[in-house]
Amino acid sequence: MSIVEKYNQGWWARQTKRARIIILAAVAIIVLAIALGVGLGVGLNRGGDDDEDGSGGSGPNNGGGGSNPDNGNSTMGPAPNGTYAVNATWQIILFAPIVLEANAKTVTPDVPVWDIDLYTNNASTIATLKRLGRTVICYFSAGSYENYRPDSKNFTESDMGKELDGWPGERWLNTNSQNVRNIMVSRIKLARQKGCDAIDPDNIDGYDNDNGVNLSEDTAVDYMKFLSTEAKKLGLAIGLKNSGAIVQKVLPITDFAVNEQCAQYSECASWAPYISANKPVGSPISFSFLILWNGMKSILCLPRDIIQAIKDPSSI
């Protein structure tokens, strides 16, 4: 029996629809506050990019920060302020560039790890975050073609498969293609040149979709090994995005993980090996906020029934 059904048998059933919506809104606010405390809230701001051509532009922090380019360790090394610990809090902003003055004395929210888009954020923003002692993870899609990226012209038709479900114009990539891999090497180099500490390569799980380019779990593992090797050459850490089926096979070569909708798909337990290995895992769930598991040796996920009720009050 679901949580909502249990509520409907007693006190909950006697509440008016308006009262239920107010109560659920209050629950959402409380949960969001918890998320901000143990993980991160998403704040979207507008900004610009002074290095969008993907050619590996430099910035005031050219050469990265706190990472040794000759260090090929397979685990995430310590940042200058030790923020790679599993109990560190994160901020993830992927849908817009962040705005941060070069002379900023503080950053909001005051969290030590920031996961931001590689292309829409300029090198000076990353340099400012690092001057303030923050660790910067740079996101890009390693498994899909996005026609709005500055290096999209470098892909060929043979590199691309079917469209991603729900993302018009975005197509799965043949990750065995040497051309695709060369483009990803350039993106990893750009992350290094902009000063990122780590990379967050997305869309590795094409094997779990109708991709049109014969992707499999084995090709995904091989691709992650390739990306990890290239990242380590430049002293960058690397995370696994989604792709729960290959967690055990890539755990030794990755440093953290980000899983989307683990509660929705009842797959949070798949990520327990990262927690056991003392590697951080983040999971964005429901109305654009993220809860981190924070090395608590347990997985924090909201019940699916409550999530659905918060997202769609008419379902009550």
Using 50, 70 and 90 to split pLDDT, how confident is the model at 57?
very low
Ordered by start, the domain boundaries in the chain are: 43-258
pLDDT of residue 96: 86
CB-count burial class (<10 Å; 0-12, 13-18, 19+) for 256: buried
pLDDT tens, position by position, 120-169: 999 999 999 999 999 999 999 999 999 999 999 999 999 999 999 999 99
Fold of 43-258: TIM Barrel (3.20.20)
pLDDT of residue 160: 98
pLDDT tens, position by position, 194-221: 999 999 999 999 999 999 999 999 999 9
Asked whether 191 and 199 are in contact (CB, 8 A), the reply is: yes
Q: Is the pLDDT of residue 282 over 80?
A: no
pLDDT of residue 271: 83
Side-chain half-sphere CA neighbours of 311 within 13 A: 13
Using 50, 70 and 90 to split pLDDT, how confident is the model at 286?
very low
pLDDT tens, position by position, 292-301: 433 332 233 3
> For residue 54, which of 190, 223, 257, 210 has the smallest C-alpha distance?
190
CB-count burial class (<10 Å; 0-12, 13-18, 19+) for 147: exposed
pLDDT tens, position by position, 14-50: 556 555 555 555 555 444 444 433 333 332 232 333 3
Asked whether 168 and 206 are in contact (CB, 8 A), the reply is: no
Looking at every residue in the chain, the average pLDDT score rounds to 73
Q: Is the pLDDT of residue 308 over 70?
A: no
Beta strands (DSSP E) in the chain are: 40-41, 90-93, 113-117, 135-141, 144-145, 160-164, 167-173, 198-202, 237-241, 256-258, 281-285, 289-292
Q: Is the pLDDT of residue 12 over 60?
A: no
Mean pLDDT in residue range 73-99: 62
Tell me how far apart the alpha carbons of residues 166 and 98 are, in angstroms, rounded to a whole number. 26
Which pair of structure tokens corresponds to residue 148?
Answer: 């709005």
Mean pLDDT in residue range 265-293: 67
The pTM (predicted TM-score) of the whole model is: 0.69
Mean pLDDT in residue range 60-85: 37
pLDDT of residue 21: 55
Asked whether 241 and 256 are in contact (CB, 8 A), the reply is: no
pLDDT tens, position by position, 231-276: 999 999 999 999 999 999 999 999 999 887 776 777 778 888 988 8
